[in-house]
Amino acid sequence: MYVPPGFATVTPYIFAEDAAAFVGFLVDGLGGTESCTTLRPDGKIANAQVAFGTATVMVSEATERFPQTRASYYLYVEDADAAMKRALDAGARLLMEVSDMPYGDRQGGVEDRAGNIWWISQRLVEEPYSA
């Protein structure tokens, strides 16, 4: 099985109303890098790929057949406080202030305008999670 570089065996694929604005939030608000975008004949996004470190998120314009999807994502960052500020400055709604968690992460939560929840997390220890 071949999986392209930057993709995982399971890769999130999000349908968004105003996909272009959503991709803008992924880049400006969460620090992703848009790596590839193809457009439909009407000029809306058929497929956009946004890289976050070792992972890629794919985005398409929502349609009647494929309506806007909502999910939760756990995003690892270098600095949770700075990442939270960036997300809020880009229009995210605060769900949980950044704080130190008992499982070794510094984490906070936001909701994007499409209703997705993003757990912004900075790993404070270099060890796996334990039970």
Average pLDDT, the chain: 96
List the beta bridge partners of residue 99: 107
Q: Which residue has the tokens 């997390």?
A: 121
pLDDT level of residue 130 (50, 70, 90 thresholds) = confident
b/e per residue 88-100 (b: at least 16 CB within 10 A):
eebebeeeeebee
Q: Which domains does the chain have, with CATH numbers?
A: 1-69 (3.30.720.120), 70-131 (3.30.720.110)
Average pLDDT on 77-86 reads: 98
Residue 131 has pLDDT above 80, yes or no: no
| Maximum separation of any 2 CA atoms in the chain, in Å | 50
Contact (CB, 8 A) for 58 and 48: yes
Average pLDDT on 78-103 reads: 98
